[in-house]
Chains A and B, each alone.
Chain A
Amino acid sequence: MILQLVGCSHHLSSVEVRERLAFDSQQAFRFLKKFYDAYPRSEIVLLSTCNRTELYAAGRSYDLVPTAEEMSLFLADFSGLPPAEMNRFLFEHANEQAVRHLFSVAASLDSMVIGEAQILSQVKLAYQQAAELNQPMPLTHQMFQSAIRVAKRVASETKIHTNRVSIPSIAVGVFTRQIFERLDNKQILVIGAGKMAAETLKYVRDEGGRDIVVVNRTLDAAVRLANQFNGRAGRWDDLAEHVRSADLIVSTTGASQPVVTMSMYQQIERDRQQRPLLILDLAIPRDFEPVIGDSLNVYLYTIDDLQQECQRNRDARAGEWPKAQKILDQETGQFMRELSLRSRGPTIQRLKQRAEEIKNAEVRRLMNRLEDVTPEQQKEIEAAFHRMINKLLHPPLASLKEEGEPDANGLLDALKRLFQLND
């Protein structure tokens, strides 16, 4: 069993790189389809969030799974970045390390904001999307199911998730207070109507925000979200008007291009009369052109600007870290043992089958030679042969099952060679 992982995350790559490698659902669909066309016998899952893009590949043997280099090239081809340049930001893991990384990601231990809740649903969604395209996916299914279990264990057995924080909570809680004394007299514009927008609005309301406008490409979604928070829905075509009158803008769309460009902002800048504007651009790729942040009295923050605050969050949870790591160690070991067992299953099966065939052949031959054997005696003879086979096979099979190192397939290879068990 081969597991391969190539990806980039907030640890190594800046928002500029991550937004080049970000996939919306349609792009992810096209990417996966193209990948399956090239590697039809491998399993693949693409996890793309605002803080990471990770490509998981799995297969029964090396020849079925793309190499890390091939996976990087696929990503480079999609992003348009030169492969050599992109390799600076990518990391690779294989087998146990890949599993451990996925478990860490799902448990939100690798997140920018440790303990945030969104990542688990994003992991589930990534697997579902891949499974829709390529059924069955036994290896990745087991891996992602285990990842979900690990995430739940970490959540229930440690305090990592207590006083849970999220990117919106940090963005709103920390940065709005730096600029605004109160939010009840400010106009708040939320661009996008997804989960992050909803979560952000929750914190905006908690901070006292009342005058809320939600603008989304799909008006219905904007209306639904606005109603949920006693706000107003705005038409996408009126976005510039809403930006003109806003004091605080939170942008969370999945758009692949900036929705507010500098030229658009320049048109409304004069009318704003230099009123302070706080923009929390939580989208990847970014919704606001970065140069807008240079404008007078505009304070533009992106996800990466929250890094230092997130590090504090990480430090605050440091006490719980060893417990979470222990769970990861246990679960990764357990998963690899199960995987290893599973990979030996066909060999064991074939060995047992071979022994059964030999036994049956020998019993048949003996029965043909013997005369006056009663059915009871025949049963006894067959049982004796069966016990002998089992006793002979038990020690090697037990050793094989107890083999500690999942990657050390020496015993399995030896068994295959000794008993001539070819695939």
Chain B
Amino acid sequence: MTWLYGISITCFAASYLVAFCLELTRVFFRAPLRKYLINAVVLAGFFAHSTYMVLQTQVQFAGAGLFLGSWSGWCFGAAWLLIVAYLWVRFRQPQTLAGLFVLPMVICLIGAGTWLGQELAFPANEARTVWNAVHGLSLLVGTATVILGFTFGIMYLLQSTRLKKKRPPSRLVRYPSLEWLQESSETLLLVSTVMIGVGLLSGVLVNVINQRMGETVLPWNDPVIISSAILFTWLLISLLFNLCYRPARQGRKVAYLVVASFLFLVVELGIVLYFGHATRQQESAESQISLRQEAALGKRQVGLVDREAGP
């Protein structure tokens, strides 16, 4: 099984890229065997992807690191969830062109993960605690659902515009029905709100626990916390608006809500990336440690001076 260690990012990224190209050809011509080919390529990519994730987790865990706690792991995790969703859509709506919208997001996430690399990893000891795990995983699922909701929202808007302009459907590919897109977007909005909410609350809990235990904490006015709270508030308002105001559940409004949620997410991720999040905790921890060390050193030096200056 050592060959499994030879699986690289290129393997699954290339598989998804090929699948995307095959999906793209559906727009132009009919080919009976293509759907089997797409399934085979995506499943191969999914296997490679999953294997890579598992092996990387094992390897990094052994080295006191946590793969999913790194930017690359986190991006690959989100991409993995999107591929699961894509396979589900292929099963439910085989004739639709959902792949043309979902696969680019997957490829972008893999690209972003590769580019960002391992440098901003959580400290493994922190990430391994239950609440940290809940915090990271719920945010991961929340992010994936927001991205998926965005693709569904875009599909809804395109399909709705096309129908308003009375363009007949293509014989080769078609969009999912408006009803299906709307219901799926609503579900994703609910799931993403819950997951981002759990992520935020668990993050707050982690901070409080750390504070009580005298560990390093993020200040409550940290841009990352504020932007996360804004994202969650937006999702919550969207959800409540959607639940309480009936016309909001109809048609394009749901699509607009999920697309706007994605934009909030992009801003939020940008802030996290710019200001740092876990690493700031790490840096903060390191700076506190160094302060303590300096303080201890200072004490020792003072002791030495005292001793030197002693009677």
A residues at B contact (CB < 8 Å)? 174, 177-182, 273-276, 293, 296-297, 299, 301, 305-306, 308-309, 312
Given contacts A174-B169, A299-B163, whether A276 and B247 have CB atoms under 8 Å apart is no
CA distance A274 to B250 in the complex (A): 6
B212 CB-CB contact with A under 8 Å: no
Knowing A274-B250, A276-B251, A299-B163, the reply to whether A308 touches B177 (Cβ < 8 A) is no
Q: In the complex, how many angstroms separate the beta carbon of A27 from the nearest chain B beta carbon?
A: 29
Contact sample, A vs B, 8 pairs, CB 8 Å cutoff = A179-B163, A179-B177, A179-B179, A181-B179, A274-B250, A276-B250, A296-B251, A297-B250
Which residues of B are found within 8 Å of A180, using beta-carbon distances? 177-179
Q: Is B307 an interface residue (CB 8 A)?
A: no
Residues of B within 8 A of A178 (CB): 159, 163, 169, 174-175, 177-178
Question: How many residues on B have C-beta within 8 angstroms of the other chain's C-beta atoms?
Answer: 22
Interface contacts beyond A179-B177, A180-B178: sample of 5 additional A-B pairs, CB < 8 Å, sorted by A: A178-B174, A181-B177, A274-B250, A297-B250, A299-B163
Nearest residue, chain B, Cβ from A179? B178
CB pair B247–A299 under 8 Å, yes or no, is no
Q: Considering the chains assembled together, what is the distance between the CA atoms of A296 and B179 in angstroms?
A: 15
Residue of B nearest to A270 (CB): B247
Nearest chain B residue, comparing its CB with the CB of A186:
B179
Partner of B177, one of A177, A275, A312: A177
The answer on a CB contact under 8 Å between B251 and A274 is yes
Q: Which residues of A contact B252 (CB under 8 A)?
A: 297
- CB closest residue in chain A, given B177: A181
- CB distance A273 to B179 under 8 Å? no
A276 pairs with B166, CB closer than 8 A: no
In Å, the complex CA distance between A118 and B171 comes to 26
Query: Closest CB of chain B to A275's CB: distance in Å?
Result: 5
Q: Which of A179, A301, A306, A309 has the most CB of B within 10 A?
A: A179
B166 pairs with A301, CB closer than 8 A: yes
A297-B251 contact in complex given A178-B163, A178-B174, A179-B163, C-beta closer than 8 Å: yes
Interchain CB contact (< 8 A) of A276 among B176, B178, B246: B178
- Taking the nearest CB of chain A, how far is it from the CB of B98, in angstroms? 14
Closest partner residue, chain A, to B92 (CB atom): A181
Which chain A residues border B178 with CB–CB below 8 Å?
Answer: 178-180, 276
Cβ-closest chain A residue relative to B181: A181
Residues of A within 8 A of B179 (CB): 179-182, 276
The reply to whether the CB of B168 lies closer than 8 angstroms to some CB of chain A is: yes
How far is it, in angstroms, between the C-alpha of A263 and the C-alpha of B235 when the chains are bound? 37
Binary interface profile of B, 223-260, with partner A (CB < 8 Å = 1, else 0)? Answer: 00000000000000000000000110011110000000
Digitize B83-119: 1 where CB-to-A-CB distance is under 8 Å, 0 elsewhere. Answer: 0000000000000000000000000000000000000
Q: Are B180 and A181 in touch, CB under 8 angstroms?
A: yes
> Could you say which residues of chain A place their CB within 8 Å of the CB of B169?
174, 178
Cα(A179)–Cα(B252), bound, Å: 12
Distance, CA A275 to CA B251, complexed state (A): 7
In the complex, what residue of chain B is closest to A278 when comparing beta carbons? B163
Q: How far is the CA of A308 from the CA of B168 in the complex (A)?
A: 7
- Residue numbers in B under 8 Å from A293 (CB-CB): 164
Distance A309 CA – B183 CA, assembled complex (angstroms): 28
Query: Which A residue's beta carbon lies closest to that of B167?
Result: A308
6 nearest A-B residue pairs (beta carbon)? A274-B250, A274-B247, A297-B251, A181-B179, A181-B180, A308-B168
Residue of B nearest to A296 (CB): B251
Residues of B within 8 A of A312 (CB): 171
Residue with the greatest number of chain B CB neighbours at <10 A, chosen from A181, A182, A297: A181
Within 8 A of A (CB), among B135-188: 159, 163-164, 166-169, 171, 174-180, 183
Chain A residue contacts of B167, Cβ below 8 A: 308
In the complex, how many angstroms separate the beta carbon of B134 from the nearest chain A beta carbon?
A: 34
Closest chain B CB from A358 CB (angstroms): 72
* Minimum CB–CB distance for A187 against chain B, Å: 14
Measured between alpha carbons, how far is A306 from B167 in the docked complex, in Å?
9
Cα distance, A37 to B176, chains bound together (Å): 58
Q: Inside 8 A of A177's CB, which chain B residues have their CB?
A: 177
Q: How far is the CB of B29 from chain A (nearest CB, A)?
A: 15
Residues of A with C-beta under 8 A to B171: 312
Instruction: Please report the C-alpha to C-alpha distance between residue A179 and residue B179 in the assembled complex, in whole angstroms.
Output: 6
Tell me the minimal C-beta distance from A276 to chain B in angstroms: 6
Cα–Cα, bound, A305→B175 (Å): 19
User: Is the beta-carbon distance between B168 and A273 smaller than 8 angstroms?
Assistant: no
Q: How far is the CA of A16 from the CA of B120 in the complex (A)?
A: 65
B254 to chain A, nearest CB (A): 11
